[in-house]
């Protein structure tokens, strides 16, 4: 049998209990843990000691490039490569380039926001040890769970399970995978 | 107005009635998809898809025969197709407005209506996009609008043309709205995945849920991505109809060339979009028994927005009229006198009555909260907003600078069937959506329930 | 925290008020001397200062109206500030008197000269609107609307402090809804009358909305600066938190984009249409150093603050936000200058000391009056039903 322990999960009653549990787990020194809930809980980032997502800066940086690329495309195609007179406007009519530049910038940024979020979240990932657990399915309905991964340096099956029970977790379950 | 009840209903009425638990929310919304298909749905989709056949027939004949089958003539080079395009794009504005702007303004009541309003946006934009596409005549060459390098053409599209901006703006809008809608759907798809009892649901919802696990480490990026998409969609939604307005406003035709057009079109778009959300929302709510989720408070808020945007549109009508007179310009003055008292006076006054007078009903709290009143009013507004675009397009074109070329525009039967056909397309897509995807954003609704606030018990 | 009447009064209000008053009086006296020296220059500078401060007052009125209509939570803590800004509007009628009765009309408005109208076919067409008696009637009607709304809403707001009056929220809303309609019409026609008719041949339907958008940016800038200065004295430190500044910053950002949208719509459609009777207005804003002002406005009123206010951090770093607010006020003045002065100095920008003296003259009195109003009552609406929620508010 090559089955090994992937982590431990435990249920908590409501958002408030999950928030408190997160603080306890954080203070205990765990790093690779997560708090699962059907909707985002405000104040959870602080409770878990999480840093802000860097997605904003990624999108911002690429938006600048997209703006320049969008403007550059119009400048080069209409102003340089293929010049023609239309309604008496100059070849390079920067005033008229704004709508398309804006569209290109927004389109690119939206793609980066969506796929950047997926990349940062490691999605898509259709198979995950947590999906083996029946009670984990409650997360997308009304469950509030803490999971601690076995790869955490402080992880120890017995101690971690006991700790989760100590801080009020119920249905403590060891997750295995092969 | 009774101030005390006003205070109560505005401030204290719960967003979701009936005090549901988190599980109740999943159960209620998912059951609409998981339960047996109501017979009414089959009747409805049978009806709407036969209207789609009408659309296919009309478009097929158009492609076979050419644009001559429409009522276009000189000087009316633009007719119903452009009217319908602007009409549908306008309707497509409420969804993103509700999702993005109300999100940024932290209007929590949006959570009950944003999902189906967004879906409506997508379907309306599909209907809108059809018209300019078939209007180009040779639809099989439509890819020429894209700036792609080719030896064969050795030329580039004209970036100084508002029609090209349209293609970019509407295309971007559709794509970004899809992304926004999909990102919003991910947690709900995961809910459906975890509830799935049949193999096919498990697989399909499983694939599209992407393996969502609802961990805070995921929510963190997710929430920022949603915020960014909202932040991007907000200027986008304003820009799309502004750019549509430049189709008219960059020309020098009296009645078209006026500087207020961009914000005026945006206000009109929001106005008409909310009217359509209202029409569909009332029906959906009734059929699926969603009265606890889409409450009178939601509907009343939407009516207030319609009152506001209706006033903005009225402001623009008035402003245009005043400035046309103030300009002292003979052509400007004529264009507006002609609108109100010329051969299309009936269109103008239909527009004024539906768009300016009808929303005035919503000054009264009683009418604002009456479902029959708002349902009828929303339909009138939809009609009025169609007439607005008709007035803009036709009155200015039919009587241009040269009286000898004036002509009266009449649509043909194919103009009418194509337009009716798009309603079939819109309804078919909408019916498919309500059957196969959650009509209400479950994760978001759970997030605004009182017990979702971790400090909920502290304050009570 | 104790939320009573006394905790939130400004104790050292007198000093700042006095400084403002002294600056105002000196400015007005200097401007008076300017009036005797060069009436034409005086009135043009004066109009810039007048519309600069009036639009800020109108911004205060707008925020009060919108507050009562939408009941936002976060803005409760700064409500007294924009209400006090609104209360300066009745004062502005005094500053309008020189324009109305001391020869301002004939210095500023070409259409007010009967002989000019006699030789101008276009002006004859407009004479039903652009004539002196009607112009004055309209101006006083605008002031009447603004003063009545300001007095009514401010009085009710103070009444709310006395003791708990839950019915007042509803009553203020009932005034604000029709108030908003009157506001929209009055600010539109006021901009047409006072600013657009400086060039009586030119017309633009968006002009009223353009002026309105500038008013929104500048009033937010002033709200931020006032809150920050109250913070310096130690008042309101726990009340107006960094979260509120973040929101004010976001709104200022949103409205400066809105301003750019209006400015671009106006410019772009006229540029593209390229009809001489419309482009002439922009052509007047291009010769000599006017070009620099026109481009400077694009950069200073939009591009630079847009980039700088974009990151979350810049809206939460209070000294930086203060600098940006001050910056926006400067550019609101440049905007007003750009609307008015090209009608006087056609060739190039020609700054005059009267530009400053009138700005500080009216501004000193404005700030003094504003500060007096703010200090006379608690600086936060202590019995607003949502105050508590507003204080605890955080950005998510």
Q: Are strands A144-149 and A33-36 parallel, antiparallel or unpaired?
A: antiparallel
**Structure token digits, residue B159:** 């970036």
In the complex, which subunits touch B with 3 or more CB pairs below 8 angstroms? A, C
Least confident range of B75-79, B456-460, C157-161, C277-281: B456-460
- pLDDT (average), residues A58-77: 91
In-domain check, residue C12:
no
By CA distance, what is A94's nearest residue in C? Answer: C268
In-domain check, residue C169:
yes
Nearest to A102 by CA among B243, B373, C109: B243
Chain C contact for A119 (CB, 8 A cutoff): no
Residues B196, B201, B205, B206, CA torsion sign: positive
Residues of chain C positioned with their CB less than 8 A from the CB of B254: none
Looking only at Cα atoms, what is the longest distance across chain C? 70
Instruction: Yes or no: say if C82 and C74 are a contact pair by the CB < 8 Å rule.
Output: no
**Structure token digits, residue B322:** 């005043």
In-domain check, residue C108:
yes
Distance (Å, whole) CA B209 – CA B321: 52
Nearest to B208 by CA among B189, B194, B227: B189
DSSP A34: E
Other CB atoms within 10 Å distance of the CB of residue B111: 26
By CA distance, what is A73's nearest residue in B? Answer: B147
Query: Which stretches of chain A are assigned E, i.e. beta strand?
Result: 4-12, 33-36, 144-149, 170-177
Distance (Å, whole) CA A56 – CA A59: 5
**pLDDT tens, position by position, C260-271:** 999 999 999 999
Q: Mutation test of the interface with chain C: which of A95, A97, A100, choosing the one with the most C Cβ atoms within 10 A? A: A95
The packing angle between helices B261-288 and B296-327, to 10°, is 160
Q: What is the per-residue burial (b if ≥16 Cβ within 10 Å, else e) of C155-179?
A: ebbeebbeeebeebbbbbbebbbeb
Q: In a 10 Å sphere around its CB, with 0-12 CB exposed, 13-18 middle and 19+ buried, how is residue A72 labelled?
A: middle
Q: Which phi and psi (to 5°) does residue C226 adopt?
A: -65, -45
The yes-or-no verdict on residue B406 having pLDDT over 60 is: yes
pLDDT of residue A147: 87
Instruction: Yes or no: say if C211 and C361 are a contact pair by the CB < 8 Å rule.
Output: no
Other CB atoms within 10 Å distance of the CB of residue A178: 9
pLDDT of residue C322: 93
User: Is A100 in contact with B168 (Cβ distance < 8 A)?
Assistant: yes
Distance (Å, whole) CA A63 – CA A76: 20
**pLDDT tens, position by position, C222-256:** 999 998 888 877 667 777 888 888 889 999 999 99
For B27, residues 6+ apart whose C-beta sits below 8 A from its C-beta are none
Residues of chain A positioned with their CB less than 8 A from the CB of B169: 99, 103
Nearest to B441 by CA among B182, B113, B96, B122: B113
Q: Which residue reads 């407005």 in tokens?
A: B97
Q: Give chain C's mean pLDDT.
A: 88
pLDDT of residue B1: 33
Q: What percent of chain C has pLDDT over 90?
A: 59
Query: Which stretches of B38-147 are assigned E, i.e. beta strand?
Result: none
For C122, residues 6+ apart whose C-beta sits below 8 A from its C-beta are B328, C200, C201
In-domain check, residue B5:
no
pLDDT of residue C104: 86
**pLDDT tens, position by position, C350-388:** 899 999 999 999 999 999 999 888 888 777 777 666 777
Res. B11 pLDDT band, cuts 50 70 90: very low
The yes-or-no verdict on residue C298 having pLDDT over 90 is: yes
**pLDDT tens, position by position, B269-321:** 999 999 998 998 898 888 888 888 888 888 888 898 899 999 999 999 999 99
- pLDDT (average), residues A160-177: 83
Distance (Å, whole) CA A29 – CA C268: 59
**Nearest CB to B315: which of C184, C192, C257?**
C184
The packing angle between helices B261-288 and B216-249, to 10°, is 130
**Structure token digits, residue C240:** 């107006």
**Structure token digits, residue C27:** 């400015």
Of these ranges, A14-28, A110-124, B143-157, B442-456, the one predicted with the greatest mean pLDDT is A110-124
User: Is B159 in contact with A104 (Cβ distance < 8 A)?
Assistant: no
Q: Are strands A144-149 and A4-12 parallel, antiparallel or unpaired?
A: antiparallel
Q: Which phi and psi (to 5°) does residue A147 adopt?
A: -125, 135
Between residues 208 and 267 of chain B, which touch chain C (CB distance below 8 Å)? 223, 235, 238, 242, 246, 249-252, 257-263
Res. B459 pLDDT band, cuts 50 70 90: very low
Q: Which residue reads 């999943």 in tokens?
A: B26
- pLDDT (average), residues C119-142: 92
- pLDDT (average), residues B317-340: 91
Q: Name the residue with higher pLDDT: B12 or C380.
A: C380
**Structure token digits, residue C99:** 């324009």
3-state secondary structure of C21: helix
How many domains, in total, are found in chain C?
1
Q: Assess whether the previous peptide bond of B58 is cis (omega < 30° from 0).
A: no
User: Which residues are registered as beta bridge partners of A176?
Assistant: A5
In-domain check, residue C388:
no
**Structure token digits, residue C180:** 């908003």
The yes-or-no verdict on residue C2 having pLDDT over 60 is: no
How many domains, in total, are found in chain B?
1
Res. B104 pLDDT band, cuts 50 70 90: confident
By CA distance, what is A46's nearest residue in C? Answer: C396
pLDDT of residue C383: 66
The yes-or-no verdict on residue B3 having pLDDT over 50 is: no
Nearest to C224 by CA among C156, C305, C121: C305
Chain C contact for A90 (CB, 8 A cutoff): no
Q: Which phi and psi (to 5°) does residue B286 adopt?
A: -70, -50
Res. A158 pLDDT band, cuts 50 70 90: confident
**Nearest CB to C270: which of B1, B238, B259?**
B259
Distance (Å, whole) CA C262 – CA C255: 10
| Closest CA–CA distance from residue A123 to any residue of chain C (Å) | 24
Q: Name the residue with higher pLDDT: A152 or B128.
A: B128
| Cα→Cα distances B149→A51, B79, B133, B152, C302, Å | 44, 33, 21, 9, 35
Nearest to C169 by CA among C392, C389, C385, C381: C385
Least confident range of B15-19, B392-396, B406-410, C329-333: B15-19
Q: DSSP assignment of C197-232, as one string? A: GGSTT---TTHHHHHHHHHHHHHHHHHHHHHHHHHH
Q: DSSP assignment of B360-417, as one string? A: GGGGSHHHHT-HHHHHHHHHHHHHHHHHHHHIIIIIHHHS-S-GGG-------HHHHH
The yes-or-no verdict on residue C204 having pLDDT over 60 is: yes
Cα distance between the two ends of chain C: 24
The yes-or-no verdict on residue C221 having pLDDT over 90 is: yes
| Cα→Cα distances C392→A16, C229, C316, Å | 18, 21, 16
Residues B165, B170, B173, B175, CA torsion sign: negative
DSSP A177: E
Q: Are strands A170-177 and A144-149 parallel, antiparallel or unpaired?
A: unpaired
User: Is B217 in contact with A127 (Cβ distance < 8 A)?
Assistant: no
Q: DSSP assignment of C337-371, as one string? A: HHHHGGGT--SS----HHHHHHHHHHHHHHHHHHH
**Structure token digits, residue C170:** 């509803």
pTM comes to 0.91
User: What's the CA angle centered on C173, arms C169 and C179, to 5 degrees?
Assistant: 145
Domain with C79 in it: 19-380
pLDDT of residue A156: 82
Distance of CA A86 to the CA centre of its chain: 47
Instruction: Yes or no: say if B378 and B275 are a contact pair by the CB < 8 Å rule.
Output: yes
pLDDT of residue A16: 86
pLDDT of residue A138: 84
Domain with B336 in it: 41-451
What length does chain B have?
Answer: 460
Chain C contact for B11 (CB, 8 A cutoff): yes
Q: In a 10 Å sphere around its CB, with 0-12 CB exposed, 13-18 middle and 19+ buried, how is residue C255 labelled?
A: buried
pLDDT of residue B4: 39
Distance (Å, whole) CA B202 – CA B248: 50
Q: How many contacts does A have with B, using Cβ atoms within 8 A?
A: 210
In-domain check, residue B12:
no
In-domain check, residue B96:
yes
Res. A9 pLDDT band, cuts 50 70 90: confident
Q: What percent of chain A has pLDDT over 70?
A: 98
Q: Which phi and psi (to 5°) does residue C96 adopt?
A: -80, -25
Q: Name the residue with higher pLDDT: A158 or B49.
A: B49
Q: What percent of chain C has pLDDT over 70?
A: 92
Q: Give chain B's mean pLDDT.
A: 87
To which H or E segment does residue B443 belong? helix B442-448
Chain A contact for B450 (CB, 8 A cutoff): no
Nearest to B439 by CA among B104, B185, B122: B185
pLDDT of residue B146: 85
pLDDT of residue B151: 67
Distance (Å, whole) CA B29 – CA B439: 7
What length does chain A have?
Answer: 178
Distance (Å, whole) CA C330 – CA C332: 5
Distance (Å, whole) CA B394 – CA C261: 28
User: What's the CA angle centered on B99, arms B95 and B100, to 5 degrees?
Assistant: 115
Between residues 299 and 328 of chain B, which touch chain C (CB distance below 8 Å)? 311, 315-316, 319-320, 323, 326-328
pLDDT of residue B8: 43
Q: DSSP assignment of C76-89, as one string? A: GGGHHHHHHHHTTH
DSSP B38: P
pLDDT of residue B2: 37
Residues B342, B344, B350, B356, CA torsion sign: negative
């Amino acid at each position: 049998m090559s089955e090994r322990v992937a982590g431990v999960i435990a249920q908590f009653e409501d958002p408030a209990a999950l928030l408190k549990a997160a603080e306890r787990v954080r203070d205990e020194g765990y790093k690779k843990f997560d708090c699962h809930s059907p909707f985002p809980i405000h104040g959870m980032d602080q409770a878990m000691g999480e840093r802000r997502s860097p997605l904003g800066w990624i999108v911002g940086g690429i938006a600048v490039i997209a703006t320049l690329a969008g403007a550059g495309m119009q400048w080069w195609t209409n102003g340089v490569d293929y010049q023609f007179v239309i309604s008496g406007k100059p070849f390079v009519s920067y005033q008229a380039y704004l709508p398309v530049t804006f569209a290109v910038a927004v389109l690119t940024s939206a793609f980066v926001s969506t796929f950047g979020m997926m990349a940062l979240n490691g999605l898509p990932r259709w198979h995950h040890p947590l999906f083996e657990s029946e009670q984990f399915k409650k997360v997308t309905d009304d469950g509030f769970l803490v999971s601690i991964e076995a790869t955490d340096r402080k992880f120890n099956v017995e101690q971690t399970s006991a700790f989760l029970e100590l801080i009020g977790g119920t249905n403590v379950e060891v997750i295995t995978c092969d | 107005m009774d101030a005390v009840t006003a205070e109560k209903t505005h401030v204290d009425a719960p967003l979701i009635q009936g005090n549901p638990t988190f599980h109740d929310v999943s159960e209620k919304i998912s059951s609409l998809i998981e339960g047996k298909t109501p017979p009414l749905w089959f009747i409805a989709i049978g009806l709407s898809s036969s209207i789609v056949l009408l659309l296919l027939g009309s478009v097929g004949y158009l492609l076979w025969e050419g644009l001559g089958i429409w009522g276009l003539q000189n000087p009316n080079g633009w007719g119903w197709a452009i009217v319908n395009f602007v009409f549908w794009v306008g309707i497509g504005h409420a969804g993103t407005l509700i999702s993005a702007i109300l999100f940024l303004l932290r209007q929590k009541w949006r959570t009950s209506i944003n999902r189906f309003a967004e879906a409506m946006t997508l379907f309306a934009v599909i209907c809108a996009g059809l018209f300019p596409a078939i209007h180009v005549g040779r639809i099989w060459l439509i890819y020429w609008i894209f700036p792609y390098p080719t030896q064969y053409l050795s030329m580039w599209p004209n970036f100084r043309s508002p029609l090209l901006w349209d293609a970019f703006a509407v295309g971007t809008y559709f794509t970004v709205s899809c992304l926004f809608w999909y990102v919003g759907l991910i947690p709900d798809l995961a809910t459906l995945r975890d509830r799935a009892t049949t193999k096919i649901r498990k697989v399909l919802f499983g694939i599209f849920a992407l393996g969502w696990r609802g961990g805070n480490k995921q929510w963190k990026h997710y929430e920022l991505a949603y915020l960014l998409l909202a932040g991007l969609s907000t200027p986008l939604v304003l820009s799309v109809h502004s750019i549509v307005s430049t189709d008219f406003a960059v020309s020098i035709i009296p009645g078209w060339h006026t500087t207020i057009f961009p914000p005026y079109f945006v206000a009109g778009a929001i106005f008409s979009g909310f009217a359509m959300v209202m029409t569909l929302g009332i029906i959906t709510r009734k059929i699926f028994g969603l009265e606890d989720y889409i409450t009178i408070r939601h509907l009343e808020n939407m009516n207030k927005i319609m009152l506001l945007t209706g006033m903005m549109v009225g402001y623009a009508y008035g402003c245009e009229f005043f400035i046309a007179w103030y300009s002292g310009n003979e052509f400007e003055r004529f264009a507006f006198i002609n609108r109100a008292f010329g051969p299309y006076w009936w269109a103008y006054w239909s527009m004024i009555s539906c768009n300016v007078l009808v929303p005035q009903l919503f000054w009264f709290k009683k009418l604002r909260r009456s479902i029959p009143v708002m349902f009828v009013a929303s339909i009138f507004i939809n009609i009025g907003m169609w007439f607005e675009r008709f007035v803009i397009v036709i009155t200015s074109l039919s009587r241009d600078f040269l009286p000898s070329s004036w002509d009266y525009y009449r649509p043909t039967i194919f103009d009418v069937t194509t337009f009716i056909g798009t309603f079939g397309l819109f309804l078919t897509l909408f019916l498919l959506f309500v059957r196969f995807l959650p009509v209400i954003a479950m994760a978001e609704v759970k997030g605004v329930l009182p017990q979702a606030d971790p400090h909920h018990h502290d304050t009570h | 925290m104790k939320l009573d009447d006394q905790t939130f009064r400004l104790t050292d209000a007198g000093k700042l008020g006095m400084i403002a008053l002294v600056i105002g009086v000196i400015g007005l006296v200097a401007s008076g001397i300017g009036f005797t020296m060069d009436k034409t220059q005086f009135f043009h500078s004066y109009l810039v200062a007048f519309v600069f401060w009036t639009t800020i007052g109108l911004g205060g009125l707008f925020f009060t109206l919108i507050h009562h209509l939408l009941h936002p939570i976060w803005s409760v803590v700064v409500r007294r500030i924009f209400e006090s800004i609104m209360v300066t509007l009745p004062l502005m009628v005094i500053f309008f008197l020189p324009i109305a009765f001391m020869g301002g009309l004939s210095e500023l408005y070409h259409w007010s000269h009967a002989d000019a109208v006699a030789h101008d076919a276009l002006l004859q067409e407009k004479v039903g609107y652009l004539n002196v008696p009607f112009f004055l009637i309209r101006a006083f009607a605008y002031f009447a609307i603004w003063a009545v709304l300001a007095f009514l809403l401010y009085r009710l707001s103070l009444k709310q402090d006395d003791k708990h009056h839950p019915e007042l929220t509803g009553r203020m809303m009932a005034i604000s809804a029709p108030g908003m309609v009157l506001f929209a019409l009055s600010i539109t026609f006021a901009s047409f009358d006072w600013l657009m008719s400086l060039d009586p041949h030119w017309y633009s339907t968006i002009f009223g909305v353009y002026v309105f958008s500038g008013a929104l940016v500048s009033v937010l800038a002033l709200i931020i600066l006032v809150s920050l200065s109250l913070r310096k004295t130690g008042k309101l430190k726990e009340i107006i938190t960094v979260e509120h500044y973040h929101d004010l910053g976001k709104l200022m950002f949103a409205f400066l984009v809105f301003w750019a949208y209006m400015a671009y719509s106006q410019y772009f459609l006229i540029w593209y249409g390229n009809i001489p009777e419309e482009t002439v207005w922009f052509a007047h804003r291009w010769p000599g150093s006017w070009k620099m002002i026109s481009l400077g406005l694009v950069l200073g009123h939009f591009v630079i603050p847009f980039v700088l206010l974009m990151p979350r951090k810049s809206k939460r770093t209070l000294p930086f936000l203060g600098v940006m607010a001050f910056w926006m006020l400067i550019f609101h003045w440049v905007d007003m200058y750009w609307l008015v002065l090209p009608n006087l100095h056609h060739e190039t920008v020609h700054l005059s000391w009267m530009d400053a003296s009138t700005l500080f003259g009216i501004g000193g009195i404005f700030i003094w009056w504003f500060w007096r109003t703010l200090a006379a009552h608690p600086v936060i609406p202590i019995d607003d039903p949502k105050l508590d929620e507003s204080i605890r508010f955080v950005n998510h």
